[in-house]
């Protein structure tokens, strides 16, 4: 059981380049999401998905696309990289339905190790 | 006003001390509350859920005050290994599909 995996761990892009950050989970979680983390700003939600074929925008979706063709995979695409997209990106997954109080772990979000992206 | 606000710290306390931090949230309909811990350059990990009646997990105590819309985390007998950033997390929405993170409180424990 690998949990949530992300690739690559590090990436440097030039302005205008495109790339895809990969995210996969093997816990059969319905809910998956992408966050970016910038100093002093906490984690901000980019896009999320409540199941295969269903995606929606989060707080900061501009410049990013997602798709969810399978339960396991949730790639994040940068269409035309900009320096403002320099950040640490985390993918996360959890069971979709809110858990019962006292059932530890039912609502727990599991995060991947992150991708550190620099756009020059 | 941010939806979830935390004192960024840093809190710098000696080993063995008790330290507490709060987190306020703006949406009174928020449903679930959590504390996550994030070590430097690592991913966040769940520390504990926060229940209405308050709950303890070893040296950690979490409290929820719905009337004043804040949650708190108390760490007793702090250890060097408690040094980390603590993130307040709030779930909103009918199926808790909206998850909001505070920007985190940095805690540093000194020997």
Q: How many Å separate Cα A59 from the centre of its chain?
A: 13
Give me the sign of the Cα torsion angle A104, A107, A113, A118.
negative
Nearest to B95 among A45, A98, A109 (CB): A98
- Residues of chain B contacting A55 with CB distance shorter than 8 Å: none
Q: DSSP 3-state assignment of A32?
A: strand
- Quote the pLDDT of residue B94: 56
The answer on pLDDT for A97 being more than 90 is: no
Residue B56 gets the label, from left (phi > 0), alpha (psi -120 to 50) or beta, of beta
Q: How many CB pairs under 8 A join A and B?
A: 55
What local confidence, expressed as pLDDT, does residue A101 receive?
43
Of B43, B91, B104, the CB nearest to A42: B104
Q: How far apart are CA A31 and CA A20, in angstroms?
A: 20
Judge whether residue A92 has pLDDT over 70: yes
* pLDDT tens profile B23-74: 999 988 887 889 999 999 899 999 998 888 889 999 999 999 999 999 999 9
Residue A46's pLDDT is what? Answer: 95
Q: What's chain B's average pLDDT?
A: 90
Map tokens 């994030």 to a residue: B38
Answer whether residue A103 shows pLDDT above 70: no
Q: Residues of A with CB below 8 A from B35's CB?
A: none
Structure confidence by residue, pLDDT tens digits, A7-34 = 999 999 999 999 999 999 999 988 899 9
CB-CB: which of B43, B46, B104 is closest to A112?
Answer: B43
């Amino acid at each position: 059981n690998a949990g949530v995996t992300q690739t690559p761990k590090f990436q440097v892009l030039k302005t205008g380049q495109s790339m895809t950050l990969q995210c996969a989970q093997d816990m059969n979680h319905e809910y998956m999401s992408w966050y970016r983390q910038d100093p002093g700003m906490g984690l901000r939600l980019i896009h999320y998905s409540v199941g295969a074929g269903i995606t929606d925008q989060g707080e900061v979706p501009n410049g990013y696309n997602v798709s969810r063709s399978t339960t396991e995979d949730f790639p994040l695409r940068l269409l035309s990289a900009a320096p403002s997209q320099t950040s640490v990106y985390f993918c996360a997954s959890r069971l979709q339905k809110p858990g019962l109080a006292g059932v530890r772990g039912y609502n727990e979000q599991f995060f991947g190790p992150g991708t550190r992206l620099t756009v020059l | 006003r941010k939806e979830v606000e935390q004192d960024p710290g840093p809190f710098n306390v000696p080993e063995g001390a008790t330290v507490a931090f709060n987190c306020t949230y703006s949406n009174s309909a928020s449903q679930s509350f959590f504390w996550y811990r994030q070590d430097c350059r690592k991913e966040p990990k769940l520390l504990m859920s926060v229940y209405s009646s308050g709950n303890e997990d070893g040296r950690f105590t979490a409290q929820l005050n719905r009337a004043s819309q804040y949650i708190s985390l108390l760490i007793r007998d702090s250890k060097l290994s408690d040094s980390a950033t603590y993130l307040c997390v709030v779930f909103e929405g009918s199926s808790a599909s909206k998850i909001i993170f505070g920007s985190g409180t940095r805690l540093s424990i000194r020997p």
